Amino acid sequence: MQAFQINQTYQTRSACDHNCIFSITVIARTAKTVKTADGKTFRIGTYEGVEFVRPMGNYSMAPIIRAEDGKTKIIPFPVAA
């Protein structure tokens, strides 16, 4: 199982706006929760052997951050002036 690691930053993009990036930095974890640098605590879910959290809540277009999302840094595209 791929799990969240302490002191690791995880990111994902919005389903609606490709330039919107959601990120969390895990500072502590238990078997069922992760605590972020913002002081928020999220319950961990598991899907296909990978842990995930929903930082904005649970709704149809909610972002989902998976433990495998911390492997690569997401770099936003430059915005044309």
**How far is 58 from 22, CA to CA, in rounded Å?**
15
Domain ranges of the chain: 9-70
Global pTM reads: 0.81
> Which residues, listed in sequence order, are joined to residue 26 by a DSSP beta bridge?
36
What per-residue confidence (pLDDT) applies to 29? 95
Euclidean distance between CA atoms 1 and 47, whole angstroms: 10
Q: Say if residues 65 and 11 touch (Cβ distance below 8 Å).
A: yes
Q: Are 21 and 76 in contact (CB under 8 A)?
A: yes
- Is 75 a residue whose pLDDT tops 60? no
